[in-house]
Amino acid sequence: MEKKNINKARILKNEALGPEIYQMVLEVGDTGEAVPGQFVNLYCKDGARLLPRAISICEVDRKAGTFRLIYKVLGRGTEEFTQLKENEEIDWLGPLGSGFTLNTEDREILLIGGGVGVPPLLELAKRLTGKKRVLLGFENESILTGDFSKVAAEVAVATTSGTEGIKGTVMDLLEQKEYLPDRIYSCGPKGMLKAVKDWARERNIPAELSMEERMACGIGACLVCTCKINEGPDPRDWNYQRVCKDGPVFNAEEVMFE
């Protein structure tokens, strides 16, 4: 694949946060108009791996010109990233995709994240002006809870192993209290997102979902990362949209889960 408009970034930090979970801080110079929910493409140095890896933006520092990224080792490409050292350079493209809506009129906001869907919610929590409550679900060890505690009124954790917080899922956290937020933002596994959509619909609460789909090109050219989006009142009025280009953030009511 030909690399167009690819830039080089300097790696300021690249370290493990937990088993198979790493954080990387990139000095990119100009962060552009990056908004919470967008992502960047990172390119491997190994010429055998031509396709980029899409990594969500966890935090943006416009003054320093940096992106903080959290990534999970899922294959040879992300495994290569773990070997990169400080001051090395990496090819990147972005910010890409559409982000969350920053509604300043919402007073009560609920952010729900699961696994590697948690990081993109941090920049969102920093920029929203209402009262933020954060529910996070993991398999074992949590990440970023301290960061969220600095910007949110409440942070609650669930782990399926029971090692932290309550034993269960993030939906078990949701059922513990009668949350009635003005809006819900969520990112995580598809099963969790469907459950969040159903919960919000039952209570007539607007919600936005950031879809986690495996991406190839990351710029909308290959049509690998499509999802079904409702386009009208008739159930037959739907079409495929590209998660990387049209998303990854969608209105919850538009997303059609199989």
pLDDT, tens digit, for every residue of 12-21?
A: 999 999 889 9
The pLDDT value recorded for residue 30 is 92
70/58 Cα distance (integer angstroms):
6
Residues 6+ apart with CB under 8 A from 191: none
* Residue 201, number of CB atoms within 10 A of its CB: 13
Provide the whole-model pTM: 0.91
Contact 94, 38 (CB under 8 A): yes
* Beta strand pairing call for 66-72 and 89-96: unpaired
Domains and CATH numbers, the chain: 7-96 (2.40.30.10), 108-254 (3.40.50.80)
53/135 Cα distance (integer angstroms):
27
pLDDT digits (tens, 9 = 90+) for 30-82: 998 999 999 999 999 877 677 889 999 999 999 999 999 999 998 899 999 99
Using the predicted structure, report yes or no on whether residue 181 has a pLDDT greater than 80: yes
Q: Show the tokens assigned to 91.
A: 């090819």
40/34 Cα distance (integer angstroms):
10
Find the DSSP H helices in 90-179.
120-127, 145-149, 170-176
Residues 6+ apart with CB under 8 A from 194: 257
